[in-house]
């Protein structure tokens, strides 16, 4: 049953073909093949084309740009960003109130990205949600799965932080600049490095 396994376990499971379309499999948060589903590219373009326009016109009216991003993702909370901001599936991005996202933020893949309230995200941050099979044959067949990334309330991510598939960063945590976060970060922890390790507490 989908969702019965933990995300860490899903990273190593084997995809099972069935009668669903690949866009449905993606929406079911199951393994899918992007290259075999032309509608997935159309779905990405429905997100990325408006984002290109928003990024290009941002400095003419930053408030209108922020409102446009909020409407694009169907959000209700006000947040601030600096362009460019990039993600592929608007239906999978959630940004909380009072959050600030600095320049050149990119969230890749079909996994849900949940960013809490009052989060600070430094420039050049990368959120990578796609995971591919470890088995080279399955990987060559084009299978992938989107694993969620969750950032709690009051988190601070330094510049050029990379967050890997399936990671949760707890409330109030701090992630040092240039870190690669491969595992969950406890609430209130300070982590840094590649891979990121706990080096202190935020309070």
- Indicate which residues carry an active-site annotation: 132
Maximal C-alpha separation, the chain: 51
- Residue 28 phi, psi (nearest 5): -80, 5
Nearest to 13 by CA among 25, 5, 21, 22: 5
Whole-number Cα distances in Å, 65 to 4, 55, 79, 84, 183:
39, 8, 11, 11, 33
C-beta atoms surrounding 184 within 10 Å: 15
CB 203 within 8 A of CB 190: no
The CA-based angle 93-96-97, given to 5 degrees, is 145
Query: Whole-angstrom Cα distance, residue 56 to residue 77?
Result: 23
Element (H, E) at 29: none
């Amino acid at each position: 049953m989908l969702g019965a396994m933990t995300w860490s376990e899903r990273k190593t499971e084997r995809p099972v073909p069935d009668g669903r379309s690949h866009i449905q499999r993606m929406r079911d948060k199951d393994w899918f093949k992007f290259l075999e589903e032309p509608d997935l590219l159309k779905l990405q373009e429905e997100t990325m084309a408006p984002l290109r326009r928003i990024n290009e016109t941002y400095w003419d009216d930053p408030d209108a740009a922020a409102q446009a991003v909020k409407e694009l993702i169907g959000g209700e909370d006000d947040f601030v960003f600096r362009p460019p901001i990039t993600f592929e599936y608007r239906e999978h991005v959630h940004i909380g109130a009072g959050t600030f996202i600095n320049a050149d933020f990119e969230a890749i893949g079909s996994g849900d990205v949940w960013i809490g309230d009052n989060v600070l995200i430094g420039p050049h941050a990368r959120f990578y949600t796609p995971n591919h099979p470890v088995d080279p044959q399955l990987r060559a067949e084009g299978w992938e799965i989107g694993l969620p990334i969750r950032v709690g309330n009051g988190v601070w991510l330094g510049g050029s932080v990379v967050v890997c598939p399936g990671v949760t960063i707890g409330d109030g945590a701090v992630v040092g600049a240039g870190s690669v976060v491969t595992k969950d970060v406890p609430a209130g922890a300070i982590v840094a490095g590649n891979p990121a390790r706990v080096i202190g507490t935020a309070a």
